[in-house]
Chain A
Amino acid sequence: MRNFFKTLQTLSNPTRFSALATKIVPWLAGATAIFFGVGLYGAWFSAPSDYQQGETIRILYIHVPAAWSALFIYASMGMAALGTLIWRHPLADVVQQVLAPIGAAFTLLCLITGALWGKPMWGAYWVWDARLTSVFILFLMYCSLIALWRVIDNPIMAARPVSILTLLGLVNLPIIKFSVDWWNTLHQPASVLRLQGPAIHSSQLWPLLVMGAAFLLLTLTLQLINIRTELMQRRIRTLHLLQAQGDKA
């Protein structure tokens, strides 16, 4: 635990963090490509079609990892919000800022693929079912957070209200996870992350887990790239201010 905080402290220096990110990103990007390659091969050529759903089961391999990533990213943003409010870590607000658009994109992908899967299986693209509605609220939360970052010009000033809103939105995560157990929903109950173990056959499970890992690696890669970009943009803002002050003097 002590080492963890020491590492966090070391990485709080933006220059040190950028240098580390520059070294790690190519490896992460390579691993992401490999995992996507293996996962998509498994999804298309190794996993059998479902006896009830037929070939539409192929949508599972992007819909479910996108949903997992959307939830994981929001939980990470919650941790970063605590980092901003309690520990005032200089990179915590940057992490929140760059994760919001990635999370919104994954949630949108989850909603679109869910609708495209719902039409042939349920006969409707959309129903106001507890799971679908709570995921839609997650998407709206992401959009509100992105809007709040854009409305307030100074990112350091924006960090506090954004963190509070992020923490409020955390309430939605257990609702999404347990909505299928708490209410009667059209959406099927959990079949992978459950106490009794996965309910799907291993031939369909492994490509799903590999795709999940690929989405996670992609999130980490994009996060590191965007943190570097945001740090550069903040430096640009400071240089603009210095230039303006120089012009005044």
Chain B
Amino acid sequence: MIDFLMGALGKHAIYIVLSYVSFVGILGGLILSSFIKMRQAKRILNALQTAHYFSQSSEKSPNAE
């Protein structure tokens, strides 16, 4: 693998590969963390809004039973 990269990219292959690995890692991390945070916030907000709705109304929460 290293020989193949050295053949294709020259003697500085390792620097090029590491650059693209950091590109994928940093941008991938940024995208993943954004989606995970959004999903978490959505889940918590839905749960809280349901709890808030049932605390305000006379209706019983299905979770209360």
Contacts and interface: CB of A to CB of B under 8 A. Distances in A.
Interface of A: 54-56, 58-59, 62-63, 66, 101-102, 105, 108-109, 112-113, 116-117, 119-120, 218, 222, 225-226, 228-229, 232-233, 235-236, 239-240, 242-243, 246
Contact of B19 (A62, A105, A218, A228): A62
Given A116-B18, A119-B15, A222-B30, 11 more contacts: A55-B12, A55-B13, A62-B19, A101-B30, A105-B29, A105-B30, A109-B22, A109-B26, A116-B15, A232-B45, A235-B45
B63 interface: no
A101 B31 CA distance: 12
20 contacts: A54-B10, A55-B12, A56-B16, A58-B9, A58-B19, A62-B23, A66-B23, A105-B26, A108-B26, A109-B23, A109-B26, A112-B19, A112-B26, A116-B16, A116-B22, A120-B15, A229-B38, A232-B42, A239-B52, A246-B55
Given A119-B15, A242-B52, A243-B52, A109 B9 contact: no
Nearest to A101: B30
B23 A56 contact: no
A222 B55 CA distance: 35
B34 A55 contact: no
The size class of the interface chain B forms with chain A is: 20 to 34
A174 B39 CA distance: 38
Interface of B: 8-10, 12-13, 15-16, 18-20, 22-23, 26-27, 29-31, 34-35, 37-38, 41-42, 44-45, 48-49, 51-52, 55
Nearest to A118: B15
Nearest to A36: B27
